[in-house]
Amino acid sequence: DAGVIQSPRHEVTEMGQEVTLRCKPISGHDYLFWYRQTMMRGLELLIYFNNNVPIDDSGMPEDRFSAKMPNASFSTLKIQPSEPRDSAVYFCASSLVAGVDTQYFGPGTRLTVL
């Protein structure tokens, strides 16, 4: 398996623009997670899905953030409108069973909002 795939790897955009990050989990994994990593706050869970259904989005910072999982092999994290404080590395991860199995992380998307 190719592992968790994220695109783009790097994104530079201007404040106010819409940003869409994409993730393809490992085939057969029922859980998908979105994390954000910054120097100040470290790694934070934003939202996670089980069988394409959002379980909890309490980590999503604001209404500007939204995540979808239309099918088992694809998820998006959208920021609209983007702000400079959204600059971070966004990771997607997947696992077979949450709380039991290892989470496998993608390479991340480095987002810079100017």
* Residues from 4 through 43 that contact another protein (CB under 8 A): 4, 33, 42-43
Q: Are 15 and 34 in contact (CB under 8 A)?
A: no
Residues 6+ apart with CB under 8 A from 22: 6, 7, 8, 74, 75, 76
Residues 6+ apart with CB under 8 A from 8: 21, 22, 109
Q: How many residues at the interface with another protein, by CB under 8 A?
A: 24
Say whether residue 53 binds another protein (CB under 8 A): no
* Residues from 56 through 95 that contact another protein (CB under 8 A): 56, 58-59, 91, 93
Least Å from the CB of residue 95 to another protein: 9
Least Å from the CB of residue 8 to another protein: 15
Collapsing DSSP to helix, strand or coil, 84 comes out as helix
Chain residues binding another protein by CB under 8 A are 4, 33, 42-45, 48, 55-56, 58-59, 91, 93, 98-108
